[in-house]
Structure 1
Amino acid sequence: MKSDSQTFARAFGDFRTGFSQRELWLSLGWQDIKQRYRRSVLGPFWITIATGLQATAMGVLYSMLLDQPLREFLPYVTVGLIVWNVINASILEGADVFIANEGLIKQLPSALSVHIYRMVWRQLLFFAHNMVIYLVMLAAFGVWEDVSWASLLAIPAILLLFLNCMWVSIFFGIFSTRYRDIAPILGSTTLMLFVLTPVMWTTSTLENQMGAGSDRARLVELVPTFHYLEIVRAPLLGEPQALRHWVIVGVITLAGWAVAILAMKQFRSRVPYWV
Structure 2
Amino acid sequence: MLHPEASGTKDVFSAFKNFYLSLYLAYSDIRQKYRRSSLGPFWITISTAVMITCIGGIFGGLFKTPMKDFLPFLTSGLILWGFVSSCLIDSTTVFVSAESVIKQLPLPITTHVLRMVSRNVIIFFHNIIILPFVFLIVQKGVNKDIFLCLPGFFLLVVNLLWMSLLLGIICTRFRDLGQIVNSVLQIFFYITPIIWLPSLLPERTSLMILEPNLFYHLLQIVRAPLMGELPSYLSWIISVISAIIGWILTLALFNRYRSRIAYWL
Q: TM-score, normalised by structure 2?
A: 0.94
Is the partner of 1:68 in helix, strand or coil? coil
Contact 2:88 2:163 in 1 (8 A): yes
Equivalent in the alignment of 2:45: 48
SS at match of 1:41: coil
**Aligned partners of 1:5 and 1:265 also within 8 Å:** no
Question: Percent of counterpart pairs with the same letter?
Answer: 35
Q: 2: CA distance between counterparts of 1:274 and 1:248?
A: 34
Deviation, 1:48, is 1.1
- 8 Å CA contact retained: 1:6, 1:266: no
Amino acid at match of 1:237: M
CA distances 1:141-177 after superposition (whole Å, capped 9, x unpaired) = 222x2x2222211000000111111101110100100
C-alpha displacement at 1:5, in angstroms? Answer: 4.6
Structure-2 residue corresponding to 1:218:
207
Distance apart, 1:105 and its partner CA: 0.8
What is the alpha-carbon distance in structure 2 between the residues aligned to residue 23 and residue 87 of structure 1?
A: 22
1:47-103 per-residue CA deviation (whole Å, 9 max, x = no partner) reads 211111111111111101111112221111000011101211221111111011111
Q: Does 1:124 align with 2:118?
A: no
How many angstroms does 1:22 deviate by? 3.1
- 1:71-82 matched pairs, under 5 angstroms: 71-82=68-79
Which of 144, 159, 163 pairs up with 2:158? Answer: 163
Tell me if the contact between 2:145 and 2:229 (Cα under 8 Å) persists in the aligned partners.
no
1:200 aligned onto 2:201: no
User: Which position in structure 2 is the counterpart of 1:263?
Assistant: 253
Query: Is 2:231 aligned against 1:234?
Result: no
CA–CA distance in 2 between the matches of 1:73 and 1:23?
38
Answer whether contact 2:171 2:178 (CA < 8 A) is retained.
Answer: yes
- State the match for 1:254 in structure 2: 244
Using the TM superposition, give the Cα deviation of residue 140 of structure 1 relative to its aligned residue in structure 2, in angstroms: 2.1
1:37 aligns with 2:34: yes
Given that residues 74 and 195 in structure 2 are in contact (C-alpha distance below 8 angstroms), is that contact kept between their aligned partners in structure 1? yes
Calculate the TM-score normalised by the size of structure 1. Answer: 0.91
2:17 and 2:259 map into 1 onto residues whose CA distance is 19
Which residue type is aligned with residue 12 of structure 1?
T
Moved over 4 A (4+): 4-7
SS at match of 1:49: helix
Question: In 1, distance between residues paired with 2:5 and 2:238?
Answer: 31
Q: Is the 8 A contact 2:11 2:108 kept in 1?
A: yes
Segments of structure 2 that go 5 or more residues without pairing to the other structure are none
Q: Is 1:139 aligned with 2:139?
A: no
| 8 Å Cα contact 1:6-1:267 kept in structure 2 | no
**Distance (Å, rounded) in 2 between the aligned partners of 1:139 and 1:70:** 12
* Structure 1 unaligned spans of 5+: none
* Aligned residue pair count: 262
The correspondence of residues 103-122 of structure 1 with structure 2, limited to 5 A, is: 103-122=100-119
Cα distance, 1:132 vs structure 2: 0.6
- Alpha-carbon RMSD across the aligned residues, in angstroms, is 1.6
Distance 2:255 2:38 in 1: 45
For 1:155 and 1:101, locate their aligned partners in 2 and report how far apart those are by CA, in whole Å: 31
